Amino acid sequence: MSRKALVTGATGFIGSRLCRELKKENWKIRALALPGENCDPISDNVSEIVTGDITRPETLAGIGDGMDVVFHLAARVLDYGSKKQFYAPIYDGTKNMLEACAGRSKRFLFVSSIAACGLGRHLKGFTETDIPQKSGIPYNDAKNDAEKVVR
């Protein structure tokens, strides 16, 4: 019996490669895509494509049902934008995904970033148990706050 995964951010740089590697390992993959998003590049590597928006909880009903693992990669990864533009998909979207998958999926894996650790200090040797610091940069701080929600 093959394992089942939900991948958010499946059309992105990391997500598309994750889908390809999961397929090699015979996973059944449900990819979450925004309405109207071009899914052609991942269509050969996923079992199912569902549309929804992590910032709109009403579009996520049943999204995590029966999944062994939810790989949550979706985020705003541009170099610019307001705090609200970063917090909506990263922080609010993560909360929405946690709620949509609670009790419906076996495991929730949140993909964060070293940017969540803060800036302006040396991070060599930094571990998951070290205390991250906010930097005032919306992407970094949204990832930092989303990590706290996931924990």
pTM of structure? 0.93
Closest CA to 54 of 108, 18, 98: 98
pLDDT, residue 106, reads 97
Closest CA to 61 of 110, 101, 93: 101
Distance, C-alpha 106 to centroid of its chain:
16
Class of domain 4-113: alpha beta
pLDDT, residue 35, reads 95
Burial bucket for residue 72 (CB in 10 Å: 0-12, 13-18, 19+): buried
pLDDT, residue 70, reads 98
pLDDT, residue 62, reads 96
pLDDT, residue 86, reads 97
pLDDT, residue 44, reads 96
Closest CA to 100 of 4, 2, 8, 3: 8
pLDDT, residue 126, reads 86
pLDDT, residue 104, reads 95
Which segments in the chain show pLDDT lower than 70?
Answer: none
